[in-house]
Chain A
Amino acid sequence: MTVSRPWSLGRVGMWIILLACALISVFPFYWIMNGTTLNPNDVLRGLLVPGRDFMSNWKQATTTYNLPLFFSNSLLIALVTVFFGVIVNSLAAFGFEKYRSRARDRVFGILLLTLILPQIAIVVPMFKLFSFMKLLNTRAAIALPSIMSVFIIFFLRQNFKLFPTEIMEAARVDGASELAIFIRIVSPSMRASFASAAIYIFLAQWNSYLWPLITILNDAIKTLPIAMASIMYAYTIQYGALMVIVCVSTLPVLILFLTMQKQFVAGLLGSVK
């Protein structure tokens, strides 16, 4: 029967829980950034004050570990996936929602069935398929399977539902073609949803691990996660340089999140609406 008074025991406990969780959540970010300035031994020991080795770590990351190549691979693949992913999925969501027919509803039902399918379940046939298409070990192999996403189609369809069909009717009376309606009338008002979808696709591709791990066989097309994983497998690890790579691979996502928090979270929440 405690009525919350200022600084009752419950309130103190609550603040302790919240602050501790916030601290635990944020600390590793500080630790990574600080780690970029330390020599390998101090990274391991976990020194909390900045050191002076940032330049040598950076140099090691960019030369020994080929960071610029991995970064540009990751960025290129993610951006290409986002570009085609937004077009393909938004068009499909639009078609499924605004041009409903029994046949298309059934197709959508089949798509939804695979929503919970774990990726591990199809990697073997996928690997065989790509080896048959002679596409293994190419950037296309990493991008192609992640362009279409049932989740994104589902998410965008929910949002297209909110777009009034009357406006489309009005545009039709004015003689607009259906494609023009999609591009000029519906799309501009869906910008926020498209941004959420784009962020979601970007993150999924930027962070993806299992499929690239299977398809990538040489250094030239390695993405950042695969590069980091193979550094961890090496006999000797340059921890300072590793921290630089970890930092570089987290920073774009962090910036994306901090600048577009609303769309970022909307992308996550799409499925519970």
Chain B
Amino acid sequence: MTKPLPSPPGSPGQGTEAFLQGQTHQERTVAARGAYERYLNRFGWFCVAPSVLFFSVFMAYPIISSLYYVTRRWKGTVNTFIGLGNFVRMARDNVFQAALGHNFIFMVIQVPIMVFLALLLAVLLNQGIRRFRGALRLAIFLPSVTSLVVVSVLFRVLLQTNGFLNNVMLSAHLIPAPIGWLSDAFWAKVTIILAITWRWTGYNMVFFLVGLQSLDPQIFEAAEVDGASKVRQFFTITVPLLVPIILFSAVTSTSGTMQLIEEPNILTFQGGPSNATMTAALYIYRQAFFVNFDFGYATSMSYIVVLISGILAFIQLRLLGGERRAS
């Protein structure tokens, strides 16, 4: 794999022994320490080298070379320099802006619903009940084992116009006519939100459960003695104490919604109906690999996505992080 490493002093390696020949005791120990330190340092590099190599090729190089793609425009197989032209084009691209808007809608509606639901379920499981706790936790976490493709396939079949959910709701007389879960611009968005919430609520709940277990039960006993209701305890004790985890959950979920691609591509079929569920990531993918093969434009749009994700994470960290310091 690599050059054999020198053995540490004290072990029967000949390299260091020969190196130390003909020196006073003082010099020898100093030199030995230096050589030993170098050996440890070299071993450190040996350990991280494979990862750094992989990182350089599959992460650093793509990031750096993207700077080149951003300034170019592809037409067929030829590409030309257009400077910041891609960003000008974005400013006029209604579909891209609408796609970002959809990401925003999914984020603003889905993330709070899911975080609240996950927190509520965690509190109920942790403090409300004693029986069946393990089984219920297992059940609610179970959707997290499915892949996003499976989730999309599943909901696509369940939510067909003549599919299961419509049939059940029709026969229960909950709705007068079948809902176009996949064919109506509004309901298609609802469908995506439902699918993401189903997949991720249990996942986020586990984080909250771990957080709750680290809280001191005496706080709640004291609140109980003071006569605070469960609801009040939830909002004035549990939520403030779990802010770091809520924050983590919100930040990861937000960056997740910025990357939505399986659901709009498979569940609502290529961002349909007529781009009503088109997301930024899906649009980028389609521009680069499906419709125009314009790698420059796609890369430029991905810069905007990265920028927005970064800003959102920053805002959330400031908002909730500041609150934590204040309380």
Give residues 59-113 of B contacting A (CB, 8 Å).
59, 61-63, 65-66, 69
List the B side residues contacting A19 at CB < 8 Å.
136
How far is the CB of A230 from the nearest CB of chain B, in Å? 10
Residue of B nearest to A91 (CB): B47
List the B side residues contacting A206 at CB < 8 Å.
147
Residue of A nearest to B256 (CB): A118
A118, B306: Cβ atoms under 8 Å?
A: yes
Which of B5, B52, B150 neighbours the largest number of chain A CB atoms within 10 Å of its CB? B150
How far is the CB of B296 from the nearest CB of chain A, in Å? 9
Q: How far is the CA of A269 from the CA of B167 in the complex (A)?
A: 39
Instruction: Check B302 for interface membership: any CB of A closer than 8 A.
Output: yes
Q: How far is the CA of A78 from the CA of B29 in the complex (A)?
A: 49
Give residues 4-49 of A contacting B (CB, 8 Å).
4, 10-11, 14-15, 17-19, 21-26, 28-29, 31-32, 35, 43-46
A209, B48: Cβ atoms under 8 Å?
A: no
B284, A26: Cβ atoms under 8 Å?
A: no
A228, B150: Cβ atoms under 8 Å?
A: yes
Q: How far is the CA of A127 from the CA of B289 in the complex (A)?
A: 10
With A10-B230, A25-B143 as known contacts, state yes or no: A46 contacts B255, CB within 8 Å: no
Main secondary structure of the interface of B (DSSP, over half): helix
How far is the CB of A26 from the nearest CB of chain B, in Å? 5
Instruction: Check B45 for interface membership: any CB of A closer than 8 A.
Output: yes
Indicate which residue in A17, A24, A45, A148 contacts B54 across the interface (CB closer than 8 Å): A148
With A26-B139, A175-B12, A207-B149 as known contacts, state yes or no: A44 contacts B210, CB within 8 Å: no
With A25-B140, A246-B153 as known contacts, state yes or no: A95 contacts B10, CB within 8 Å: no
A22, B140: Cβ atoms under 8 Å?
A: yes
A265, B206: Cβ atoms under 8 Å?
A: yes
With A26-B139, A99-B41 as known contacts, state yes or no: A21 contacts B149, CB within 8 Å: no
Instruction: Check A50 for interface membership: any CB of B closer than 8 A.
Output: no
List the A side residues contacting B12 at CB < 8 Å.
175
Instruction: Check A232 for interface membership: any CB of B closer than 8 A.
Output: yes
Which of A100, A111, A120, A213 neighbours the largest number of chain B CB atoms within 10 Å of its CB? A120
Instruction: Check A192 for interface membership: any CB of B closer than 8 A.
Output: no
Indicate which residue in A116, A173, A175, A254 contacts B255 across the interface (CB closer than 8 Å): A116
How far is the CB of B178 from the nearest CB of chain A, in Å? 12
How far is the CB of B2 from the nearest CB of chain A, in Å? 10
A228, B149: Cβ atoms under 8 Å?
A: yes
**Number of residue pairs spanning A and B whose beta carbons lie under 8 angstroms apart:** 271
A111, B55: Cβ atoms under 8 Å?
A: yes
B147, A99: Cβ atoms under 8 Å?
A: no
Sort chain B's interface into a size bin: 35 or more
Instruction: Check A236 for interface membership: any CB of B closer than 8 A.
Output: no
Residue of B nearest to A126 (CB): B62
B8, A172: Cβ atoms under 8 Å?
A: yes
B162, A177: Cβ atoms under 8 Å?
A: no
With A22-B136, A99-B40, A177-B11 as known contacts, state yes or no: A46 contacts B164, CB within 8 Å: yes
B10, A173: Cβ atoms under 8 Å?
A: yes
A232, B66: Cβ atoms under 8 Å?
A: no
How far is the CB of A44 from the nearest CB of chain B, in Å? 6
Give residues 59-104 of A contacting B (CB, 8 Å).
87-89, 91-92, 94-96, 99-101, 104
A207, B147: Cβ atoms under 8 Å?
A: yes
Residue of B nearest to A148 (CB): B54
With A126-B62, A178-B40 as known contacts, state yes or no: A92 contacts B51, CB within 8 Å: yes
List the A side residues contacting B144 at CB < 8 Å.
268
B168, A46: Cβ atoms under 8 Å?
A: yes
Instruction: Check B177 for interface membership: any CB of A closer than 8 A.
Output: no
A122, B62: Cβ atoms under 8 Å?
A: yes
Instruction: Check B18 for interface membership: any CB of A closer than 8 A.
Output: no
Q: How far is the CA of A2 from the CA of B234 in the complex (A)?
A: 13
Q: How far is the CA of A19 from the CA of B131 in the complex (A)?
A: 12
Instruction: Check A214 for interface membership: any CB of B closer than 8 A.
Output: yes
Indicate which residue in B44, B121, B140, B201 contacts A99 across the interface (CB closer than 8 Å): B44
A92, B147: Cβ atoms under 8 Å?
A: no
Indicate which residue in B50, B156, B313 contacts A116 across the interface (CB closer than 8 Å): B313
B158, A46: Cβ atoms under 8 Å?
A: yes
Indicate which residue in A94, A228, A261, A268 contacts B203 across the interface (CB closer than 8 Å): A268
How far is the CB of B12 from the nearest CB of chain A, in Å? 7
List the B side residues contacting A221 at CB < 8 Å.
none
Instruction: Check B187 for interface membership: any CB of A closer than 8 A.
Output: no
Instruction: Check A128 for interface membership: any CB of B closer than 8 A.
Output: yes
List the A side residues contacting B16 at CB < 8 Å.
none
Instruction: Check B229 for interface membership: any CB of A closer than 8 A.
Output: yes
B302, A92: Cβ atoms under 8 Å?
A: no
List the B side residues contacting A95 at CB < 8 Å.
43-48
List the A side residues contacting B52 at CB < 8 Å.
92, 107
B289, A214: Cβ atoms under 8 Å?
A: yes
Q: A22-B136, A88-B50, A268-B206 are in contact. List 17 more A-B contacts (CB 8 A).
A: A3-B224, A14-B124, A14-B128, A18-B129, A23-B139, A31-B154, A31-B164, A92-B47, A95-B45, A95-B48, A96-B48, A99-B47, A104-B44, A120-B261, A232-B153, A254-B145, A257-B145
- 21 example contacts (A-B, Cβ-Cβ < 8 A) are as follows A10-B230, A22-B140, A23-B139, A28-B154, A28-B158, A44-B164, A45-B162, A46-B164, A91-B48, A91-B51, A101-B41, A116-B255, A120-B305, A122-B302, A126-B58, A128-B69, A147-B54, A175-B11, A225-B147, A228-B150, A229-B266
The 7 lowest CB-CB distance pairs between A and B, nearest first, are: A95-B47, A46-B164, A99-B44, A148-B54, A207-B147, A92-B51, A125-B62
